[in-house]
């Protein structure tokens, strides 16, 4: 399809207007799709944050009960807490990966439509604030795992 000419400038005035309006709607649909991808990543962040928070809390509560000799052993609860944190981090990694993969595909699709003349407004996709928050939460989750496994670190 490289031989195709851009659609702008061909046909009658009403056809050009129709193509122009369609082009604008298509451009806006890319923005809506991008915002939808951010909302999906926010859902992943909420779920991951809950898993990481609950896991770390369970780990800490049972560790403190064991340290104060209220419980003889807290190993199973500690392992459960670590498992929840690991699950939260794994979910966050997969959500970040999916988001990045999706956004690269969306950018490629927009470039292809721009090359065909179907979208003419240039839209810069800035780095998503949601993605930055997800990366920061990932770092915090990894630090929490290190703190739990090695009994040291910023959360120990």
Q: Could you report the per-residue pLDDT of 87-132, keeping only the tens digit for each?
A: 999 999 999 999 999 988 888 888 888 887 777 666 666 778 899 9
Scan for tokens 């000419």, then name that residue: 5
Token code pair at residue 122: 């240039």
Cβ partners under 8 Å of residue 126, min gap 6: none
Calpha distance 117→33 (Å, rounded): 20
For the entire predicted model, the pTM comes to 0.76
CB-based contact 45:91 (threshold 8 Å): no
User: What does the pLDDT read at residue 100?
Assistant: 92
> For the chain, which ranges sit under pLDDT 70?
1-11, 18-27, 120-125, 153-156
């Amino acid at each position: 399809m490289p031989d195709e000419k851009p659609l702008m400038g061909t046909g009658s005035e009403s056809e050009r207007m129709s193509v122009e309006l369609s082009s604008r709607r298509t451009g806006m649909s890319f923005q809506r799709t991008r915002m939808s991808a951010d909302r999906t990543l926010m859902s992943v962040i909420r779920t991951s944050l809950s898993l990481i928070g609950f896991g770390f809390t369970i780990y800490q509560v049972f560790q403190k009960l064991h340290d104060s000799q209220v419980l003889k052993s807290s190993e199973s609860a500690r392992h459960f807490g670590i498992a929840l944190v690991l699950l939260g981090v794994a979910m966050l990694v997969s959500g970040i990966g999916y988001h990045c993969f999706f956004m690269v595909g969306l950018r490629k699709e927009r470039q292809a439509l721009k090359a065909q003349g179907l979208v003419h407004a240039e839209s810069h996709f800035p780095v998503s604030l949601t993605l930055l928050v997800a990366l920061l939460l990932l770092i915090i989750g990894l630090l929490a795992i290190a703190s739990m496994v090695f009994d040291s670190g910023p959360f120990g």
